[in-house]
Amino acid sequence: MNLTTARAIGGVLMGALGWFVSDLVRPLMPESTVFGWFNHVNLALGAYVGWSMLVPKGGQASSGNRMVAMSRGLTAAFSLATIAILAQSVNEMLRLSKRLRYSDPLKALEDVFRIIADFGVVLLHPTVIGPLIIGSVVIAFIVDMAHSRWR
């Protein structure tokens, strides 16, 4: 992947969105939750998604087509949510496995899907999913404008 201004802008803005949405999730979790590197991991995942997904690809319609930019923004929001939920669920499973909660590795892998469902319900709260979708679509428009300006 080439280093372009549009990629850099997409990475920085989606990383910031990942951090912001992480802060919106915190009040919805139980008070006993230990977040640790929660924001930092989501910032890195957001930066990766913004860097790799928001810039128009070679065969796609270039800038000016707002529907394509909106589609890339929605795809980035879904991808960020999916990757972040998976990463945080595996992290939670590893934390629980260190406490010897599981009798065998298969039970731990099964529990990942329960944790994904629990975290997914939190992510579907309107105060979380709304800013994630709106923010990623706005960022996609900004990246599209940057791509058309600085090729």
How does pLDDT run across 1-41, given as a tens digit for each residue?
677 888 999 999 999 999 999 999 999 988 877 788 999 99
Mean pLDDT of 126-145: 95
How many C-beta atoms surround the C-beta of residue 120 within 10 A? Answer: 13
Report the candidate in 77, 109, 75, 76 with the shortest Cα–Cα distance to residue 93: 109
Identify the weakest region by mean pLDDT among 27-36, 44-53, 58-67.
Answer: 58-67
Predicted confidence (pLDDT) at residue 59 exceeds the cutoff of 60: no
Question: How high is the pLDDT of residue 66?
Answer: 83
Percent of the chain with pLDDT over 70: 94
Percent of the chain with pLDDT over 90: 62
Could you tell me the pTM of the whole model?
0.88
Question: How high is the pLDDT of residue 35?
Answer: 83
With 0-12 CB in 10 A as exposed, 13-18 as middle and 19+ as buried, what is 58?
exposed
Question: How high is the pLDDT of residue 116?
Answer: 94
